[in-house]
Amino acid sequence: MAQRVLILGGDGYLGWPTAMAFSRAGHRVAVVDNFAKRQWELELGVRPLFPISTLHERARAWREVSEREIEVAIGDLCDYGFVESLIDQFRPDTIIHYGQQPSAPYSMIDVRRATYTQRNNIVGNLNVLFAIRDKSPESHLIKLGTMGEYGTPNIDIEEGYLTVDHNGRSHTFLYPKTPGSLYHLSKVHDSHNIHFATRIWDLRATELNQGVVYGVETDESALDPRLATSFHYDEVFGTALNRFCVQAVIGHPLTVYGKGGQTRGYLNIRDTMACVQLAAANPAEPGELRIYNQFTEQFTVLELAERVKAAAEHMGWSVELSHAENPRKESEEHYYNAKHSKLIDLGLQPRLLNEELIDTMLAKIRDHASRIDPSVLVQHVRWVPERAPAAKRAAAPART
């Protein structure tokens, strides 16, 4: 059944492909963005590897290619008047919320970026919740969370909730969170606020705690170069797999942070499209917050590097691995067993990370090798800043 689908953050890596996927499936789609991500890229001197059209150009190209319309609205989710008016006028059946600052390293650069990340993400999400409550309480909110909310606890990670037996009594709580960055912490606050809104206001919501996404295109973005989505390989907005693929193309050693034992969940961008569509087709009930762990495989960072190395060598390239100091504060050797069965139960058929898929990524990156800027692979974002030597600190004048 056709829906009215509102996509927040529709200019982004996931937002734009999601808009095309829902439009192609016959839904009425509107996207919202304020182009903040493009501004952050300018601040840091980075850009996506593939040329990216403006949002309006993309929408026009989609109309030409598919003969379908994607409506575009420009505004800031931190402006409640804008959000309320938008939801009141569009009355969406489904709201897909990607519209946030998405980078852990960005949130750790300095106090300005840290406070911006928390204010932007938390206030914007609260505005969406209040606007749904007051203008469209039947709307189903699908919110992009992150597996990074959980951290790396020494017990199995359940899908969103944990039942605790204590002193003869039992209660089910939101799974305890131990996030590893101020960005991930903003997502934890979002989870609690959404949980509150469903309990108190009877809203309906699904949170997709997503692993690390990889992939250079979707079925729709592959139709025309003007429909391409962003692909980052820099330290701030890129991911380890993206960085390794780019390094392999330019003959740079694949830089593994520390020993490379950090384990995380991963999924293909095409599987992200499938997961969001499954969540929309099977909405939560009023008063319900469903939480799905959205990933398909678990790898260590070293395993990813070794897979890229093997694929590159299969293409005839010589690739080396190197180990670099880890700028993040995280455990390398840790237990990690996260449950992720609920989306499979809904019908997800995972596309697993194999050599053929990596070959496809490497080939497309090679076609755009002239746009690679090796200087952005390292941007010196550290979770714990270097301190002055003890002798220097002692020599500083005392305050009076």
Positions marked active-site: 146, 183, 187
| Alpha-carbon dihedral 210, 266, 335, 348, rounded to 10 degrees | 70
| Alpha-carbon dihedral 72, 75, 77, 79, rounded to 10 degrees | -150
Q: Which residue carries 């009076």 as its tokens?
A: 400
CB atoms within 10 A of CB 243: 23
Q: Which residues pair with 297 in a beta bridge?
A: 266
CA pair distance 371, 349, nearest whole angstrom: 34
CA pair distance 15, 98, nearest whole angstrom: 6
Question: Do 247 and 312 form a contact (C-beta atoms < 8 A)?
Answer: no
CA pair distance 207, 289, nearest whole angstrom: 7
Cα Rg for the chain, rounded, in angstroms? 21
**Tokens linked to 316:** 């005839």
